[in-house]
Amino acid sequence: MTPHLPHVAVLDHLRPPPGWRTDRAVLSTYSAHSSVVAAALLALAGQDDESASGTRVGLVRALTELRDNVHIVVQSGRLTLPPKPASVVALFDRFIVQAPFDEGSAGVHNGQSWHAKFALVRYVPADPSVSDERWVFMLGSRNLTLDMSWDLGLVLAAGSHEGVKGETVPQVIAGIGTLAALLAKSFPQLRQWSGLSKAIKQVQWQVPVGLLVAELELMLPGDAARRLPSAPAEVNQLFAVSPFLEGEAVRALGKWGGAHTQRQLLSIRPELSRLAGQAGKALDGYAQLLVLPEPVLDSAADTSLTVDGEKAPADQTGLHAKFIHAEHGAGHTLWLGSANLTQRAWSRNAECVARVEIQKLASAASDQLLAGLRTFADMAMQVQPDALLQQPAEDTSAIKLARARVHVAARLLGAEQKREVGVAVIKANDLPHPVEKDISLFCGRLVEEPSLWPRNTHVLKLPETAELAANSGCLRVRLVLGSEQVEWVQMVEWSPGLDQTRDDAVLSDYLGPRQMLAWIHDVLTGYSNGDEGGSWDDQLKKPLVSSAPAIGLPSLEQALRLWVKDRSRLDEVDRILALWQQRKTTVQTDPKMEEQMQRFARTWGALRSGLAMYKRRKTT
């Protein structure tokens, strides 16, 4: 196990194998960044590249192929985006499921967060005539952000995977099916997982020899039985790792075992200093206190904190892993997942945690796992309790904005957007403004500068836009205090909802004729002509004169082969041409490409008419 794996490795596990496609997927995260959401969608569609990005055509294909079957659950108020997002981000409202938890409800110590971090993916063969399936489940502490912190995760594969002979064994893990059922029950957008949950409970997952996934649980607020793990018998060594701490949970773990038990606690210095300054002496049960760097946040990224100190990691290098490892009389047990060593994590948040038993020492998997756990301790620096000086907390502008963010995100839950004469109206159920009078609230469309939301009103009116593509269930929300600000994306549904016409408007504005021809080329031949518009979030370049080679016009034989093998591919070409026909005619594009697209459209129309006649003759 390498000490620090790049975030691209996560995308490698999301990408379908050759000959397969993503059929269903749900990704769960506390926080997310729009660029990483795009990277995940590109990977799930097999359209990503080695840089964890993709082209305009690749992202459009991902958005059209995965819609309604892929969803990303994110805590309300924790989706961020760059200052100038690409217009296509408006379509992310088809994939984002906003968890409506109030992080600051009833005071800063009683809030709830959707904090579970996992992915559940089902693949099916790309050939529709073949019936088969594969599954991937990932669990850890990594958010869908630009996060490069140290972490620990679990990846399992199932289905038609044969495993590696002598290295993996099949195991039923009922907790994954229960997780799917809970998701279907919790979110209307995920109700399709209800029908799959029973089948998932019977799936045989490939687990490395020497390991047993003894338990996997999605803990939700209100679960009566949830609590910190109980100590195994005869604990010899304990290694607890968590970047965020709370006295009661740390004190409870510090009592595992007896007088001869060696206990280590690894965290970040500010958290250990905070506990060292408390009267409860929560750190006294540990022989070693270890620190790794706290997250180093990029100044351009979202640097806000939640009210209980759990940072929304973005652009960081530091500690983010969360696990408990105990060596005891019966062997080794590891608890890993999303839960910090806080009572909030183990009693109120939505968290996902697995218990893994290391049954056979000296197996390749157990050796690698234990070596990986030791790497955390080897990288850390030991600190003495008397060196942990508690620094008095300052009520900085960043902290004030963090508190306000939690308040506003909660107040905007249940808000709606609707059209009225000459305006677009955003209506909250109550006043959404921060309690602090010196913090201003701004809100608006993704592609525009947000507008000031006047105090003492729960309604914000925006000038109606003639650009249908500018409308989205994703709204930009900004809080400003002096020279500092914090910004995020809030999901606010339209009433009535946005239909396919809006989606088509976004896509037709996003792609030029060159990219649409490249898309058609890929559909017809299975490979691109290399003119896919560059990186999906770059400005589209539209030269007046094209040097791209002309796309070959389809022959009747080629269309017939596609019609017999997979006629949905012909339907996809129809859809691309429909998008092109409703493009903005006022935008200057390459005349040569426009002419070529028109020629192709005429030829394609003739082919489709011929196929219709052919079908009628065959049926009669």
Please state the rounded mean pLDDT for residues 202-222.
Answer: 94
Residue 614, pLDDT score: 58
Report the percent of the chain where pLDDT is more than 90. Answer: 57
Flag whether pLDDT at 164 surpasses 80. Answer: no
Give per-residue burial for 241-269: e unless 16+ CB within 10 Å, then b: bbbbbbbebbbbbbebbeeebebbbbbbb
Minimal CA–CA distance to 184: which of 120, 228, 240?
Answer: 120
Give the pLDDT score at 407: 94
Model confidence at 6: pLDDT above 60: no
Q: Which 3 state secondary structure label does DSSP give 579?
A: helix
Average the pLDDT over 329-340 and give the result: 95
pLDDT surpasses 90 at 3:
no
Query: Both tokens of residue 522?
Result: 């890929």
pLDDT of residue 604: 82
Label residue 469 by pLDDT band (50, 70, 90): confident
Per-residue pLDDT at 556: 59
Task: Please report, as a single letter, which amino acid is at residue 321.
Answer: A
d(CA 552, CA 527): 13
Mean pLDDT of the chain: 85
Residue with the two structure tokens 């945690």: 353
Q: What is the per-residue pLDDT across 450-468, written as a single tens digit (0 to 9) for each?
A: 999 999 999 999 988 878 8
Residue 32's H or E segment, with its range, is strand 32-33
pTM (two decimals)? 0.90
Q: Identify the pLDDT of residue 553.
A: 57
68-80 per-position pLDDT tens digit: 999 999 999 999 9
> Does residue 310 have a pLDDT over 50?
no
At residue 314, the pLDDT reads 36
Top pLDDT among 394 and 238 is at: 238
Flag whether pLDDT at 374 surpasses 60: yes
Confidence of residue 5 (pLDDT cuts 50, 70, 90): very low
Strands (DSSP E) contained in 432-542 are: 440-445, 451-452, 459-463, 474-481, 484-491, 493-494
What's the chain's Rg over C-alpha atoms? 26
Mean pLDDT for 144-165 is 82
Q: What domains are there in the chain, each with its CATH number?
A: 8-219 (no CATH), 235-387 (3.30.870.10), 397-500 (2.60.40), 511-534+545-619 (no CATH)
Does the pLDDT value for residue 170 go beyond 80? yes
pLDDT at 588: 54
Most confident of 95-99, 144-148, 560-564: 95-99
How far is 459 from 482, CA to CA, in rounded Å?
Answer: 24
Hey, which bits of 359-407 come out as E strands? 381-383
Q: Shortest CA distance to 156 belongs to which of 143, 145, 142, 140?
A: 140
Instruction: Quote the pLDDT of residue 302.
Output: 39
